[in-house]
Amino acid sequence: MSIYSNSVKRPVTTILIFVALMVIGLYSLSRLPVDLYPEIELPFISVVTTYPGASASDIESNITRPVEDALNSVSNLKELTSTSSDGLSVVFLSFEYGSNLDEAMNDIRSNLNFASRLLPDEAEDPTIIKFNSSMMPIIFYAITANESYEGLEKILDEKIVNPLNRIEGVGNVSLSGVPGRRIYVDIDPRKMEAYNLTIEQIGNILRAENINMPAGSLEMGQNDYALRIQGEFPESDVLKNIVISNYNGNTIYLRDIAEVRDTIRESKLDTKINGKRGMGLYVQKQSG
């Protein structure tokens, strides 16, 4: 007997089977996980190289072109483009869909090892970045402060960023528009010249004073204690009392030739929230 004739002769059984299949399907649909940002590996890789203080033309000739020449031989390469700006070189590689990007990254690293010898000594090592949809933030928060904008970063780091990083499934929590502390030393060029000083001398003295360094060890019985010299400046006011030089028997302090300003660093990119200065907080999920 065929399945068709049995279905006609036993309609109740057929209906029950279809109802059971519908119930199972609806149950499975309700339990089916849905990802609004599914993990997709995009066939793009970028190579970023920084060269502080160099102009765009220097970046083009000394960084971008050697890197491009080294990466032209990478297999499955579809397109290679680059951007050169002041202090920064970005080489963008596009591959065919379905290419193994792990193998491509190994080829890129091997080729960059040879190209690194041709780069200037002051340039930093090239950084390889592989694009993935998991890099996109899943939640964005906009945060403002009415009283202490300078202290907002510390509050967010202690009260929000660290607790969020401990949540299962959270990959990274980052901040944008962070003011950042910066200490400026404004030197009077006339006073500096009067005391026969140079910018290099002052910079070397401040660099040598602001350092922590090991000082051996101390043995006490069976215990061995490591000793360290704490030389880093605990606060900005200490800078004013740094001895810079000795001129005609007089001690020259930094406060005699410069003004020390403890403030937030100058930023070329500000985050505005409803017209007020603020910060952005991005939450990224873990890969997979």
Q: Which residue has the tokens 């951007």?
A: 83
Residue 244: give its domain's CATH number: 3.30.2090.10
Q: What is the CA radius of gyration of the chain?
A: 31
Decide if pLDDT at 1 tops 60.
no
Centre a 10 Å sphere on the Cβ of residue 173 and count the other Cβ atoms it contains.
Answer: 21
Residue 85: give its domain's CATH number: 3.30.70.1430
Residue 149: give its domain's CATH number: 3.30.70.1320
Average pLDDT over residues 57-77: 86
Both 150 and 225 in a single domain? no
pLDDT of residue 268: 67
Both 86 and 216 in a single domain? no
Both 143 and 274 in a single domain? yes
Name the least confident of 60-64, 246-250, 264-268.
Answer: 264-268
Listed residue (108, 33, 115, 50) closest to 84, CA to CA: 50
Average pLDDT over residues 167-186: 82
Domain count, the chain: 3
Decide if pLDDT at 47 tops 60.
yes
Average pLDDT over residues 159-167: 87
Within a domain: 260: yes
pLDDT tens profile 229-241: 777 777 878 888 8
pLDDT band for position 22 (50/70/90)? very high
Both 159 and 204 in a single domain? no
Residue with the bigger pLDDT between 123 and 7: it is 123
Work out the percent of the chain whose per-residue pLDDT is above 70. Answer: 94
Both 187 and 235 in a single domain? yes
Both 278 and 164 in a single domain? yes
pLDDT tens profile 185-198: 888 888 888 888 88
Both 276 and 163 in a single domain? yes
Q: Which element (helix H / strand E) includes 106? A: helix 101-115
Both 95 and 202 in a single domain? no
Both 117 and 192 in a single domain? no
Within a domain: 30: no
Both 77 and 104 in a single domain? yes
Range of the domain at 84: 41-132
Please provide residue 284's backbone torsions phi and psi, each rounded to the nearest 5 degrees: -110, 145
Both 108 and 232 in a single domain? no
Query: Which whole-number Å values give the CA distances from 65 to 81, 246, 265, in the listed order?
Result: 11, 50, 33
pLDDT band for position 51 (50/70/90)? confident
